[in-house]
Structure 1
Amino acid sequence: MEESEAAATQKEISDNLCVRGSAENKNNEATGEVSSQMSESARKPPEETEARFNRLKLFEKVMQKSLEKFIDHASFNRFASMFRPLYKKNPQRMENIHKQFIDELRKAIQEDISRLIEEGRLEVKLNELDKLEKAAKNNPNPAWRPSGVPEQDLCSFLMPYYQKQEAYMKLELKKIREENAALAQKVQAGRERIAETENCIAMAVDQWKATLAEFERPTSSFCPADVFDVC
């Protein structure tokens, strides 16, 4: 009994889907005719031709196709078969629920894809790949290929790296030497200022001693020591 009801429900769902599918096919055919006419009448500019090879747009197109295939697996037929009693009770409401479910599912997946592109910085990295590809096309020199001798391949790969490191170290050494020379000049100038300050202090002390000696000489003449002698 349950199998016959399930078969009847399945047939009813299939009939509804066939009717809806035929209407969609007619709309798609009409849209396809219009788009084909527009494509024949209009020529594609070079920007659109280059955009086809843009890796970011290609990635987005692939993700959209994958999303559509994933959405197709969540068809109304399968959705209604999972909730057969609800579908038999109110098919129109079940169709509205399925439509809302598909919209929410599509929105959630698109948000995850956008978050993936943003967090992984795919836009920057894929654009860099596009630039590298264009630069490689404009470069007339042949691309590197292994010679078959590991020693030569390793040397040809490591030598440019070591040369860059050597140039970098020489540049850093030059900067450090210039900084040391500037610091040495500052230290020498500081020492000279300290020596001048010491000379000024010594001269001031000598002047103070001379002034004190001149001051003590008349004082001793006014107050001789023998005046205060007591017999």
Structure 2
Amino acid sequence: MEEGPAATQTETTGNADSGVSAESQPNEATGKVCSQTNPELDCNPPKEAAARINRMKLFDKVIQKSLEKFINHASFNRFAHSFCPLHKKDPQRMESIHKQFIEELRRSIQDDISRLIEEGWLEVKLNELDKLERAAKNNPGPAWRPSGVPEQDFCSYLMPYYQKQEAYMRLELKKIKAENAALAQKAQDGRENIAQTENRISAAVDEWKASVTEFERLASSLCPANVFDV
């Protein structure tokens, strides 16, 4: 009976060792396959992904440390000093209230920080910052530095935007002027067509009047008025 637990422990240890070796064998085989298929390909996670994970861990560590410093300012002594009559009346109850207050304050701050991280797309912005850093490395020119005059720095930031807007407005103005010129040409062509139509109508009316006059003259010459006098 005494050897049973020892034997069971030995078997368990052996099974655990075999499980570890079984788990390690596929990993070793995978590493060998990766190295054989492409020696330059590393099966480990990319360095950028590892850097992002470490950066988020560091950010979380800094946030937690700052939170702890903030929580330490709300110590029980300060809390009890603010509610001195209640503390003198029931110190244990005051300690319980302070504990609940600290837990609620910590949870509320942590929720607000998580919401800000999510709504502000912190990880995405940090990735964009990495892209800017890589682009800055490829740029041999000096990096931008504030001049110390807020007005100049603000103007230097807004000037490219306003220049783009000015170029866009100039292009739109050019298009509008071209459209207005085309419309003015169409209106001029319409006026000319109307004038030509009026001239043709006037000429036709003049011809009709001349033909009527000529007809009346011929009619009067062929049929004098005194012929019908009795």
- The normalised TM-score by structure 1 is 0.48
What TM-score results when the alignment is normalised by the length of structure 2? 0.49
